[in-house]
Amino acid sequence: MGLVAPIAMLLPDTIPAETILSLLLVLLICFVVGVAVRSRVGQVARESMETGLFERIPGYALIRSLTQQVAGKTAESVWKPALVETKDGFVPAFMIEEFGDGRCTVFIPSVPTPLAGSILVLERKLVHPVNVAFTDALKVISRWGSGAKELYAALEGMESSRE
């Protein structure tokens, strides 16, 4: 507000000029930064800041990737929706990575909070990828299993064992 005070004094007292001008100044700065980041030089600066500074913050890359997945801005599937086979049935989960030796890391979220849960290393044959969007799998978990029928129907490569 201190920056716009001299200009605000030129306007009548009945107008909340400092507040309006401050808001306009913030919007202008955001617009200029947005235009700058879209330029080639701005993209290079953003990428160098991201790799040099932000990726050193624990969890930054994971949160960035998850938010991009939820927003539909990336085809990358860091957390591939899956159903984990247990002795009691199938459990909604997310496949995090495959080891190449027949094992994989899975995250089994707690209900109804899909960002808290357990991490397990399991035999790959117990983990069945599900052909649904990441956000659809999150909805099933956050809604206490409502919609799990669609997850089960979308199992990949399980047709012969379900017949």
The one-letter amino acid code at 4 reads V
On whether the pTM is more than 0.75, the answer is: no
Question: Residue 154 CB: number of other CB atoms within 10 A?
Answer: 18
Rounded mean pLDDT, 29-34: 90
Which residue, chain included where needed, has tokens 């009945």?
14
- Whole-angstrom distance, CA of residue 81 vs CA of residue 102: 18
Question: DSSP state, 113?
Answer: -
pLDDT one-digit tens code per residue, 104-150? 999 998 887 777 889 999 999 999 998 888 778 888 888 888 888 88
- 154 CA to centre of own chain: 22
Which residue, chain included where needed, has tokens 């069945």?
128
89-98 and 80-86 as β-strands: parallel, antiparallel, unpaired? antiparallel
**pLDDT of 56 higher than 90:** no
pLDDT one-digit tens code per residue, 18-31? 777 778 888 998 99
Which residue, chain included where needed, has tokens 């909604």?
92
**104 near 95, Cβ under 8 Å?**
yes
End-to-end CA distance of the chain: 70
The confidence band for 77, taking pLDDT boundaries of 50, 70 and 90, is low
- The dihedral region occupied by 110, where left means phi > 0, alpha psi between -120 and 50, and beta the remainder, is beta
Say how many residues make up the chain: 163
What is the pLDDT, as a whole number, of residue 71? 66
